[in-house]
Structure 1
């Protein structure tokens, strides 16, 4: 996967040849991406504070979260994302030095 213009992500399905899929859903540059342990879900995060969960099969957005600063303040840029080993939860880290489990 690679960032196209910052706010979009281009991804290839495994070792298959062909054109990549371009994914949208963020207003600012993509800062992190992770696959679920079973490789069925793709999680992306952005400097705009959004976290987007997609089905890897059809690229449909399943859920979108907004990482707000302390006490519900402004959106905070998300710097990393990960799935729990069982794939049931995600964890994010942001510029405000917080880690959140969703």
Structure 2
């Protein structure tokens, strides 16, 4: 599956849902959650999933996740269990850019 900016993806193993904010121009990265590939959200509409437990890694609603190269960025729209990964490598939480100090 080719990820494009604006695509909504859903996990098949948890309640995690994301929107693609930035996608690489070349190639089709494999986006997964909890080790299972994510699918278009429209394919899973109406299915119920369990909330994440405290022991499991979880995606957090409203947070942005990026791959190591910075070419793929996802915005989490629904929390769930499982770690987001791109081509088998874990994605990291994007940190806010510090604002310049005004004196």
Structure with larger RCO (C-alpha < 8 A, sep 6+): 2
Which structure shows the higher strand fraction? Answer: 1
Is TM (by shorter chain) over 0.5?
A: no
The structure having more radius of gyration, on CA atoms, is: 2
Give the alignment's TM-score, normalised by structure 1: 0.29
